[in-house]
Chains A and B, each alone.
Chain A
């Protein structure tokens, strides 16, 4: 009896199919995420010549003025970007949540437009608009005799990053404001609290977790970003230093690894702070019925002020797009508010010279996105639908990629795969283009995984049991019921992964070995290095924006359609 019970338990717990899938995924994550990152950390603590454990590298890092200045600069830029992004996001969130405001649709699009342009693409255009001799300062100097150093040094990075990343705060803050039940506010009023006290004691604390989540995300993104400072020629920050050490001195130099460890540590710290702020504070208090705070109509003067704020932010947000568009059509644009004349030749240049960049990008990004949704769906299924021991770890490890900056992953790949020769050609494995696809897939996996997990959570497990009950095997059930029902979420995950992988620069720039293998983001970086390349670079940038914009729109459509269909079920 006992032995029978044991075999039955085993039959129930471990089936060969899921176990095999789990092993394959674990091997992939181990090889392309864990090993490279551990390698980086390992080297940072190793003596360069003897290979023994040492803290000398870190001592060198903290004694070096340039590195300390870079560290301070990265921290300052990230913190200031959070502040400026908050200044942009707070009034917008408050306007939509508190008032009957027709401009709410406008504000919603404000939350998306910046995200469809990667910050490093807009950086050069922003220099032409807001730089020392850019359009705005030229006009200001001519008419008022003043100029504003928007783009001087670190200011430029802060300016570009906060315009790009403020939607993260806007989205999170709006969501948590929306989740506050009106009764929370009304009961405070009922007990005699009103006005600013009400805001400070009830509304603000309830919205705090959402704000912290958004702010910490902005902090990490800015801290880790390589492309924007690089394109703005700000090199005394951590990520650019890591890149420059490795690319100029070589992969044997320990400093790049030490900087990588510092980058990871700061990412983890920011994630930890955000987790701390969220812990035990699931403040979604909406009961049934209408949620959100009480809204009131704006008085005429307030309305004017509200529109002024929204329009001002809209102009700022659209500036990089407009600038990039102008630049891509400009013959010469220097020391003048607008270009001298317009031409189509940059697009022609891009098409004739750089078609390779675009096809590479489409190939890499779609392969990476495909890999992401396949792995994401598999992990979601393993975690939610099987009892495989250790299945949670697949989820944890895949999500850990969030804390690994692109430049660190790039360095890790170089270190781990440079010494591995490829069969037949004998080239280093790290030069192989597929390695770049894997790097992109690992970078975007957390987002795809969350999309797939959410999609599977929407599928009631009784739908699967019904299929098995009617004679379908597990595998057939996955094919005929689970995947079709998840398809909306999977597609949304694919499109998001695709669109963001298409413009990834941090890891790409480390791993691109030859021009013929380079994707669009790298080509853009190369173009922007010279004044003559700006026009074609901008044209390439417009392509990037179109790809990301289309992708974002598509995933929005897919998600909305899914929501409508589910809505009909009730």
Chain B
């Protein structure tokens, strides 16, 4: 037996495989929960399903683990279709939102469970359990009951219990949601370094964009049972494919507009209070659309001078303001539509008063035209 049972050896045992989800449709009665989902997750990737509650992200995760059955489509792990396999033969490790540690077993028994079910020899079980507990730094608590551990420790046990069986894929169902804010930040870094160490393809379900942004290589944003967009965190934030993605990741200003060519090139005409916005050549040829930009894309022009080159001009009235510390967020009424503006703040800066007129510049190349 060439097992070394050290954490490093555990990592060496794991061969990264990809997960392919093709044409998956799932309904509960007339409730269509997953609508033609297609995803290709690369070997060794840390991948997130991100979306609001009820978007189908947990259903999709449970489908991979075998706790749901799709009416159509297939899930392949390392190229092999696992759709008809029962959960216990899938070799995908899942960490549950509630951790699901068995209260009638000690930490050691919990971690050993999966190996016992695989009929691994007793001595080898002991060594591999020790190695997994070392990996999460909990070997000294092996004989405790789960109820005697803190939330963060329980989480680590759940993780050890899952990775000890050397699964092909690691599934994490909102693993940080039951931890307090400080521990959450710490645990997500630990998760990331563990994942990198093991090279284990990992799928992470969350509704928290910050969690997904900070640790995941790529994110699939889901809404209404459909994958809205797949990409790196930066990609999704800077180039959202649609209004939902724009609004779900960060704050988005959205203005109705129409695209016309008035001789000065193709430009977006929004309405009163906004000068036409020049479009980059790459923008589509749609006749109508929504103009989307971030609050930090606007620059306040106290002097009210002519707009800088490549900038559109917005004029309006401040409705209210929120003091956020590093910046001040103003809500500005521009021709009847509300626009959020972030102004960086330094000590001593004067705040603008509500109901005061305000002049803003928008860098045209930062704005995006999205289909309604």
Q: Hey, which bits of chain A sit against chain B, CB under 8 A?
A: 1, 5, 8-9, 11-12, 460, 462-463, 465-474, 476, 480-481, 484-485, 565, 568-569
Write out the residue numbers on chain A whose beta carbons fall within 8 Å of the beta carbon of B72.
1, 5
Closest to A472 in B: B117
Determine whether the beta carbon of B102 is less than 8 Å from that of A485: yes
Given contacts A5-B72, A471-B165, 17 further A-B contacts (CB under 8 A): A8-B69, A8-B71, A8-B84, A466-B94, A466-B161, A468-B66, A468-B67, A468-B87, A469-B88, A469-B92, A469-B94, A471-B89, A471-B114, A471-B118, A472-B117, A474-B88, A569-B146
- State which of B70, B96, B147 has its C-beta within 8 Å of the C-beta of A569: B147
For window 68-99 of B, CB contacts with A under 8 Å fall at 69-72, 83-84, 86-94, 96-98
Give, as a whole number of angstroms, the nearest-CB distance from B151 to chain A: 11
Determine whether the beta carbon of B93 is less than 8 Å from that of A11: no
Given A466-B96, A485-B104: A11 and B88 within 8 A (CB)? no
Write out the residue numbers on chain A whose beta carbons fall within 8 Å of the beta carbon of B87.
465, 468-469
Give, as a whole number of angstroms, the nearest-CB distance from A147 to chain B: 60
Give, as a whole number of angstroms, the nearest-CB distance from A195 to chain B: 47
Give, as a whole number of angstroms, the nearest-CB distance from A414 to chain B: 45
Given A468-B88, A469-B87, A470-B161: A9 and B113 within 8 A (CB)? no
B317 within 8 A of A: no
Determine whether the beta carbon of B117 is less than 8 Å from that of A485: no
CA distance A470 to B92 in the complex (A): 8
Closest to A476 in B: B117
Q: Taking each of B65, B91, B92, B102, which has the highest tally of chain A beta carbons within 10 Å of its own beta carbon?
A: B102
Give, as a whole number of angstroms, the nearest-CB distance from B131 to chain A: 16
- State which of A9, A472, A476 has its C-beta within 8 Å of the C-beta of B71: A9
Determine whether the beta carbon of B162 is less than 8 Å from that of A470: yes
Interface size band for B: 35 or more
Write out the residue numbers on chain A whose beta carbons fall within 8 Å of the beta carbon of B71.
5, 8-9
Q: Taking each of B67, B92, B146, B161, which has the highest tally of chain A beta carbons within 10 Å of its own beta carbon?
A: B67
Determine whether the beta carbon of B113 is less than 8 Å from that of A11: no
Query: Which 4 interchain pairs have the tightest Cβ spacing?
Result: A470-B114, A466-B100, A471-B117, A468-B87
Write out the residue numbers on chain A whose beta carbons fall within 8 Å of the beta carbon of B162.
469-470
Give, as a whole number of angstroms, the nearest-CB distance from A456 to chain B: 14
Given A470-B165, A472-B88, A485-B103: A460 and B98 within 8 A (CB)? yes
Determine whether the beta carbon of B83 is less than 8 Å from that of A467: no
Write out the residue numbers on chain B whose beta carbons fall within 8 Å of the beta carbon of A485.
102-104
Determine whether the beta carbon of A460 is less than 8 Å from that of B100: yes
Determine whether the beta carbon of A469 is less than 8 Å from that of B102: no
Determine whether the beta carbon of A465 is less than 8 Å from that of B67: yes
Q: Hey, which bits of chain B sit against chain A, CB under 8 A?
A: 65-67, 69-72, 83-84, 86-94, 96-98, 100-104, 113-114, 117-118, 146-148, 161-162, 165
CA distance A128 to B41 in the complex (A): 84
Write out the residue numbers on chain B whose beta carbons fall within 8 Å of the beta carbon of A12.
69
CA distance A565 to B113 in the complex (A): 22
CA distance A473 to B66 in the complex (A): 12
Write out the residue numbers on chain A whose beta carbons fall within 8 Å of the beta carbon of B114.
470-471
Write out the residue numbers on chain B whose beta carbons fall within 8 Å of the beta carbon of A568.
147-148
Write out the residue numbers on chain A whose beta carbons fall within 8 Å of the beta carbon of B65.
465, 469
Determine whether the beta carbon of B96 is less than 8 Å from that of A470: no
CA distance A472 to B117 in the complex (A): 6
Give, as a whole number of angstroms, the nearest-CB distance from A93 to chain B: 35
Closest to A7 in B: B84
Give, as a whole number of angstroms, the nearest-CB distance from B61 to chain A: 11
Write out the residue numbers on chain A whose beta carbons fall within 8 Å of the beta carbon of B118.
471
Determine whether the beta carbon of B69 is less than 8 Å from that of A472: no
Determine whether the beta carbon of A8 is less than 8 Å from that of B83: yes
Give, as a whole number of angstroms, the nearest-CB distance from A9 to chain B: 7
Determine whether the beta carbon of A470 is less than 8 Å from that of B113: yes
Write out the residue numbers on chain A whose beta carbons fall within 8 Å of the beta carbon of B161.
466, 470
Write out the residue numbers on chain A whose beta carbons fall within 8 Å of the beta carbon of B113.
467, 470, 472, 480
Determine whether the beta carbon of A11 is less than 8 Å from that of B84: yes
Write out the residue numbers on chain A whose beta carbons fall within 8 Å of the beta carbon of B89.
471
Determine whether the beta carbon of A463 is less than 8 Å from that of B102: yes
CA distance A481 to B100 in the complex (A): 11
Give, as a whole number of angstroms, the nearest-CB distance from B224 to chain A: 22
Determine whether the beta carbon of B96 is less than 8 Å from that of A465: yes
Write out the residue numbers on chain B whose beta carbons fall within 8 Å of the beta carbon of A470.
88, 93, 113-114, 117, 161-162, 165
Write out the residue numbers on chain A whose beta carbons fall within 8 Å of the beta carbon of B165.
470-471
Write out the residue numbers on chain A whose beta carbons fall within 8 Å of the beta carbon of B102.
463, 466-467, 481, 485
CA distance A462 to B97 in the complex (A): 9
Determine whether the beta carbon of B104 is less than 8 Å from that of A462: no
A-B residue pairs in contact (CB < 8 Å), sample of 29: A1-B72, A5-B71, A8-B69, A8-B70, A8-B71, A8-B83, A8-B84, A462-B96, A465-B67, A465-B100, A466-B94, A466-B101, A469-B88, A469-B92, A469-B93, A470-B114, A470-B161, A470-B162, A471-B91, A471-B117, A471-B165, A472-B88, A472-B117, A474-B88, A476-B88, A484-B104, A485-B102, A485-B104, A568-B148
CA distance A9 to B71 in the complex (A): 7
Closest to B114 in A: A470
CA distance A467 to B165 in the complex (A): 12
CA distance A553 to B115 in the complex (A): 40
CA distance A472 to B119 in the complex (A): 11
Give, as a whole number of angstroms, the nearest-CB distance from A384 to chain B: 15
Write out the residue numbers on chain B whose beta carbons fall within 8 Å of the beta carbon of A569.
103, 146-147
Write out the residue numbers on chain A whose beta carbons fall within 8 Å of the beta carbon of B84.
8, 11
Write out the residue numbers on chain B whose beta carbons fall within 8 Å of the beta carbon of A465.
65, 67, 87, 94, 96, 100
CA distance A470 to B163 in the complex (A): 10
- State which of A1, A5, A463, A476 has its C-beta within 8 Å of the C-beta of B100: A463
Write out the residue numbers on chain B whose beta carbons fall within 8 Å of the beta carbon of A9.
69, 71
Closest to A487 in B: B104
CA distance A484 to B105 in the complex (A): 10
